[in-house]
Every structure is written in C-alpha cells, then in structure tokens.
Amino acid sequence: MSSPDSPAELERTIASYNDAWNAQDLDLLLSFHAPGMVFENHTAGERAEGD
C-alpha cells in the first residue's frame, strides 16, 4: 500500500475528484472537503466557503 501522499495516490485522488465534478455528484464532492473549507476557482473568479 502506498502512502496517501505518494504521487500515484494523489493522482488517483485528483482523478476521483474530477470524475465527481464531471458527474455533478455533490455528495461525493463534499466528501473531499473538510468543514469550513474554502474552494477557489481562480480561473473563473469563483469562491465557495463553508460547511
């Protein structure tokens, strides 16, 4: 088993996040974020905060 911070594991996490985003799976997307998180899309100039 690889470390959660290994490059391969990080690539899997990013791919899973992208898949959830593209599927508009809000429950899965929320599982990637901690309470009080701040998400910033610098390209679109959007920001989301909160629980």
Each residue's pLDDT tens digit, 12-37:
999 999 999 999 999 998 898 888 88
Are 30 and 24 in contact by the 8 Å Cβ rule? The answer is no
Check if the beta carbon of residue 49 is closer than 8 Å to that of residue 34: no
Task: Inform me whether the pLDDT recorded for 1 exceeds 70.
Answer: no
Alpha helices in the chain (DSSP H): 7-22, 26-31
Q: Using an 8 Å Cβ cutoff, are 46 and 40 in contact?
A: yes
What pTM, to 2 d.p., does this model score?
Answer: 0.68
More confident residue, 51 or 18: 18
- Say which residue, 28 or 48, is predicted with more confidence: 28
What b/e sequence results for 13-33 when a residue is b if at least 16 CB atoms lie within 10 Å of its CB, and e otherwise?
Answer: eeeeeeebeeeeeeeeeeeee
More confident: 1 or 6: 6
